[in-house]
């Protein structure tokens, strides 16, 4: 049987638009929501933010009666409420790296930059989309953690703290802000390194390996330097109390934001200069 | 229209593309031919601005690719290397591309239907076969209804039906007045689709010519002649640069003369001819003749290394 193939005709496209930033934002949003790693990482980050405070609150409540006064003094309700932030940041950082590194490992970056050859708007759109989605998820997560842990701790008078108490609202929302900034920082690292394993390793090195290394230094050096590390500066955004050798929430937040800006700047310069 | 001027690309100390100048015109299918590793894919990446040239310049429809406000309407490209996130479905891959230009969702479904991926459009593309991946790449290339279509080895991994479909598609696109630039390392494939050829070897331009001229130029003049007076004919035709080879019984292969020259010589000598057949070299032979130097060099290098 011989098949005579009909002439293939490409249907015409009657509407023609041009590349615009709001369209790139939508495109990057489609990419963000259409892979499994996003759903997994965000779900894990969200659940961890809530789960850890609940576990700690339950444990604290059940052991309160057997605790020494000194041990009781060491407990702080906000530390419990925001314990999950420290864990969730890893999930958010991994996803931040993946959002760009997976484009390189799968080759989809070539499609991306063929559609948007100016490249930089893609980076801005990824950052904006991810900042929005991570903050939008982190805010309810920290609010739930705060009120749920407070509810569990309700029989323990010394661990009561009001949301309107000075610094509390700032700390709680600061926890969400910190998570968002971590995501941004990680995304920028991913754009610089362009490799998933390398990006995650770089992030872990800066956030989890560098701080304990500082204890090798003399105490005065450690105090002077550590406060300016990205993780330590960033942490002040959601810390209620401040020691003499830590930055204020505002300064700490700004220092961390400056690290993010520097990483983004390096990523942007490399993005334009490097071959894909 | 694609215009390259002195296009050169170095990767470290290796020169992948070496001073290429050529023009790809609209309305015809232009084949981009060269052995594997000759710089075809690199040239295409340079055209799309994915890689920056070390020297020289290339424009598409009059501008650098990067300067187009709506690049997907200008150029639709299929690259040889996979360019799809393996965890994303075909539909979402195309949708994300379409959204950058405000191309409606309907167009995404149209393209999926056009390339015959309807049933797997929702599946993660990492599970696609090579052929399905090619179809998705072609759908992406056609998404923006582009004036210029550039496909790197489009028939790779396609079944015969798919290959046939691509050939028809390319011819149809050219007939509509679009610029069609398609690479292959197979001469036979180009023979069936291309009108014009740009041949490169080791990053350098070897030929920029119509397919017909290419064959005529690259093939030697060979004529098979049959006559009852072969010996006398041989004496008549003998001259500098002309050689003979034995063909089948009663026939002679004449190298270095055209059929007209042989016929005229026979007529003036009063020799009867029973057959006079110009032997055209096949495209594959023509290609091999042109790239022989390159290939010989490569073979020598391989031997030297081994």
Which tens digit of pLDDT belongs to each residue from B18-48?
999 999 999 999 999 988 889 999 999 999 9
Alpha carbon dihedral B84, B88, B91, B93, in 10-degree steps, equals -40
Task: Tell me the average pLDDT across B49-63.
Answer: 96
Q: What is the pLDDT of residue A233?
A: 95
> How confident is the model over A115-154, as pLDDT tens digits?
999 999 999 999 999 999 999 999 999 999 999 999 999 9
H or E stretch covering A41: helix A36-63
The answer, yes or no, to whether residue A94 has pLDDT greater than 90, is yes
Mutation to test the A interface, candidates B87, B96, B141, most A Cβ within 10 Å: B96
d(CA A65, CA A42): 37
* C-beta atoms of B96 and A27 within 8 A: yes
Q: Determine contact, residues A137/B94, Cβ cutoff 8 Å.
A: no
Q: Which residues of chain B neighbour A37 with C-beta distances below 8 Å?
A: 87
Q: Which residues contact B227 (CB under 8 A, 6 or more apart)?
A: B233, B250, B252, B266, B271, B272, B273, B274, B275
The answer, yes or no, to whether residue B303 has pLDDT greater than 70, is no
A270 — pLDDT class (breaks 50, 70, 90)? very high
> How confident is the model over B3-22, as pLDDT tens digits?
999 999 999 999 999 999 99
Q: Dihedrals φ, ψ of B62, to 5°? A: 90, -5
**DSSP per position, B40-104:** HHHHHHHHTTSS--SEEEEEETTB-GGG-SSHHHHEEEE-SS--S-TTSBHHHHHHHHHHHTT--
- Closest chain A residue to B79, measured at CA: A110
Residue A112 C-alpha from the chain's centroid: 24
Q: What is the pLDDT of residue B106?
A: 95
CA of B84 vs chain A CAs: smallest distance (Å): 4
Q: Determine contact, residues B138/A10, Cβ cutoff 8 Å.
A: no
The answer, yes or no, to whether residue A3 has pLDDT greater than 50, is no
Closest alpha carbon to A82 in A244, A200, A209, A240: A240
Q: Determine contact, residues B18/B205, Cβ cutoff 8 Å.
A: no
CA of A204 vs chain B CAs: smallest distance (Å): 25
Name the one residue in this structure whose structure tokens are 């754009």.
A191
C-alpha distances in Å from residue B305, one per residue of A224, B295, B297: 58, 15, 12
What's the pTM?
Answer: 0.87
Q: Which residues of chain A neighbour B82 with C-beta distances below 8 Å?
A: 106-107
The answer, yes or no, to whether residue B295 has pLDDT greater than 90, is no
Q: Which residues contact A20 (CB under 8 A, 6 or more apart)?
A: B102
Q: What is the pLDDT of residue B301?
A: 56
Q: What is the pLDDT of residue B111?
A: 96
Q: Determine contact, residues A94/A41, Cβ cutoff 8 Å.
A: yes
Q: Which residues of chain B neighbour A34 with C-beta distances below 8 Å?
A: 88-89, 92, 96
Q: Determine contact, residues B78/A12, Cβ cutoff 8 Å.
A: no
- Closest chain B residue to A271, measured at CA: B50
């Amino acid at each position: 049987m011989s098949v005579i193939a009909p002439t293939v005709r490409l249907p015409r496209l009657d509407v023609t638009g041009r590349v615009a930033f709001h369209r790139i934002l939508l495109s990057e949003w489609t990419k963000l929501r259409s892979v499994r790693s996003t759903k997994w990482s965000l779900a894990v980050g969200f659940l961890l933010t809530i789960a850890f405070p609940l576990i700690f609150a339950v444990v604290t409540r059940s052991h309160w009666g057997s605790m020494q006064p000194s041990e009781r003094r060491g407990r702080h309700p906000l530390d419990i409420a925001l314990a999950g932030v420290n864990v969730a940041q890893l999930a958010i950082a991994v996803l931040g790296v993946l959002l760009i590194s997976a484009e390189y490992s799968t080759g989809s970056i070539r499609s991306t930059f063929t559609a948007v050859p100016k490249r930089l708007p893609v980076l801005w759109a990824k950052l904006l989309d991810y900042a929005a989605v991570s903050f939008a998820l982190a805010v309810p997560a920290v609010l739930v953690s705060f009120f749920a842990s407070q509810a569990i701790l309700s029989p323990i008078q010394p661990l009561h703290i009001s949301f309107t108490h000075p610094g509390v609202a700032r700390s709680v929302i600061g926890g969400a802000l910190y998570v968002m900034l971590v995501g941004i920082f990680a995304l920028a690292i991913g754009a610089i390194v362009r490799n998933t394993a390398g990006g995650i390793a770089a992030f872990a090195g800066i956030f989890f390996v560098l701080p304990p290394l500082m204890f090798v230094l003399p105490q005065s050096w450690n105090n002077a330097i550590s406060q300016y590390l990205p993780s330590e500066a960033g942490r002040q955004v959601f810390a209620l109390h401040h020691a003499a050798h830590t930055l204020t929430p505002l300064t700490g937040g700004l220092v961390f934001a400056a690290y993010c800006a520097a990483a983004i700047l390096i990523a942007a310069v490399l993005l334009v200069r490097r071959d894909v | 229209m694609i215009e390259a001027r002195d296009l050169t690309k170095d990767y470290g100390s290796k020169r992948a593309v070496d001073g290429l100048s050529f023009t790809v015109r609209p309305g015809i299918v232009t084949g981009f031919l060269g052995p594997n590793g000759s710089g075809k894919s690199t040239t295409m990446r340079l055209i799309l601005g994915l890689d920056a040239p070390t020297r020289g310049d290339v424009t598409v429809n009059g501008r650098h690719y990067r300067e187009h406000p709506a690049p997907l309407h200008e150029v639709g490209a299929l690259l040889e290397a996979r360019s799809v996130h393996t965890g994303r479905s075909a539909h979402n891959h195309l949708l994300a591309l379409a959204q950058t230009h405000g191309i409606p969702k309907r167009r995404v479904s149209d393209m999926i239907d056009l390339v015959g991926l309807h049933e797997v459009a929702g599946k993660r593309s990492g599970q696609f076969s090579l052929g399905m991946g090619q179809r998705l790449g072609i759908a992406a290339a056609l998404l923006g209804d582009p004036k210029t279509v550039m496909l790197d080895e489009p028939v790779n991994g396609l079944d015969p039906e798919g290959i046939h479909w691509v050939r028809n598609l390319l011819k149809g696109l050219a007939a509509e007045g679009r610029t069609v630039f398609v690479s292959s390392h197979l001469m036979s494939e180009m023979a069936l689709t291309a009108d014009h050829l740009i041949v490169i070897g080791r990053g350098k331009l070897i030929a920029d010519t119509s397919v017909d001229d290419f064959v005529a130029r690259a093939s030697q003049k060979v004529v098979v002649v049959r006559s009852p007076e072969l010996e006398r004919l041989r004496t008549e035709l003998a001259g500098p640069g002309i050689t003979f080879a034995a063909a089948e019984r009663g026939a002679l292969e004449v190298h270095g003369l055209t059929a007209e020259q042989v016929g005229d010589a026979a007529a003036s000598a009063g020799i009867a001819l029973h057959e006079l057949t110009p032997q055209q070299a096949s495209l594959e032979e023509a290609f091999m003749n042109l790239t022989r130097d390159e290939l010989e060099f490569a073979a020598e290098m391989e031997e030297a290394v081994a």
